[in-house]
Amino acid sequence: MIIGIDLGGMSAKAALLAQGQLKGKSRVATSASASAEQTALSLAELALQVAEKANKSMDDVQAIGIGAPGVVNSAGGEVVSWTNFGWKNVPLAALVRKYTGKNVFVLNDANAAALGEARYGAGKRFSDSILLTLGTGIGSGVILNGKLFEGFRSAGTEMGHVVIRQDGERCTCGRRGCFERYASASALIRMTRDKMVSDPASAMWRYAASPDDADGRTVFLALKEGDAAAREVLEGYIAALGEGIANIVNAFRPQAVILGGGISAEGETLLVPLRKYVYPRLYVSAEYAPLEICCAALGNDAGLYGAAEYAFSRL
Ligand SMILES: [Zn+2]
């Protein structure tokens, strides 16, 4: 049995993975004002809480896997940098091991989610899959031959920062025109707001009192009414998302691209036009190398599954 932990800026979640099931799911608040040492201690306490809740003792736990934000050196169990918490070279695995006496492994949280979806969720049937999580940015993880591919010093597969428009919008990474500037959930919301401003007759105004109130669902709600402005927003968004996906597929040629994040709840409304956009743009045809484009299945649990699975693979 392995405990998976999903460390975030507001809270850390954890659960015990046994026979493919998550048990004893628990959560603890996290804070940027706490030291790395204090955070590690609360993760250790969280692990204990999970074991108790699942009616197990820590003796039954073989290892702990932690999905952490930022740049992670998974081989060394270090968080190299996590800007929100001001972490630099935090030996997270060693700290949590000190308080639990367990083998502890750390990987990037987006990679953990990709591994979770690949083994237990939407990617189960495939040996090669890529998860793109559409949120504030775009989180990504690549599974090749059933294994997580992280690049040198686990510094690779940052798909959100592949440029799709040279000299485009400025990105938090310092470059311009990154994929996530056009295809994240934040980008869709920005496009929705811009369109509402330029089109006061749009049905989108019925679902958001002002452009500031628009969220990731606004465009989809108005689309159900056949709103032309909403259709235009979605077409622009699909084109950006599709360009990025075609690039990624041309590079790795997975069997599946899995979309996570709140927008993926729209399902086929999003997928049908996306497939139509992507398939004709692939260098090698989808007839020759079939490609599934689908939505994630595990929601917020993907990272828990993946963190535990990763620890298991490293034992
Ligand atoms: Zn960028």
Ligand 1 mean position, distance from CA 140 (Å):
13
Q: Which residues of the chain have pLDDT under 70?
A: none
Give residue 42's pLDDT. 98
Ligand 1 mean position, distance from CA 143 (Å):
22
Ligand 1 mean position, distance from CA 161 (Å):
4
Give residue 264's pLDDT. 95
Give residue 220's pLDDT. 97
Give residue 103's pLDDT. 98
Q: How many residues are listed for the chain in this entry?
A: 315
Q: Is residue 120 part of a domain?
A: no
**Are 153 and 55 part of one and the same domain?**
no
**Are 255 and 309 part of one and the same domain?**
no
Q: Residue type for 80, please? A: V
**In total, how many domains does the chain have?**
2
Ligand 1 mean position, distance from CA 244 (Å):
13
**Are 81 and 155 part of one and the same domain?**
no
Give residue 303's pLDDT. 98
pLDDT digit string (tens) for 278-308? Answer: 999 999 999 999 999 999 999 999 999 999 9
Q: What is the C-alpha separation between 309 and 108, in angstroms, rounded?
A: 13
Q: Is residue 253 part of a domain?
A: yes
**Are 184 and 258 part of one and the same domain?**
yes
**0.85 exceeded by pTM:** yes
Give residue 161's pLDDT. 97
Structural domain of residue 68, as residue ranges?
2-115+301-314
Q: Is residue 172 part of a domain?
A: yes
**Are 165 and 265 part of one and the same domain?**
yes
**Are 270 and 137 part of one and the same domain?**
yes
Per-residue b/e over 246-280, b at no fewer than 16 CB within 10 Å? Answer: bbbbeebebbbbbbbbebbebeeebbebbbebbbe
**Are 37 and 91 part of one and the same domain?**
yes
**Are 91 and 238 part of one and the same domain?**
no
Ligand 1 mean position, distance from CA 72 (Å):
18
**Are 147 and 111 part of one and the same domain?**
no
**Are 195 and 251 part of one and the same domain?**
yes
Q: What is the C-alpha separation between 4 and 171, in angstroms, rounded?
A: 32
**Are 262 and 290 part of one and the same domain?**
yes
Residues with CB in 5 Å of ion ligand 1: 161, 171, 173, 178
Give residue 69's pLDDT. 96
Give residue 147's pLDDT. 97
**Are 58 and 75 part of one and the same domain?**
yes
Give residue 279's pLDDT. 98
Show the tokens assigned to 148. Answer: 């997580």
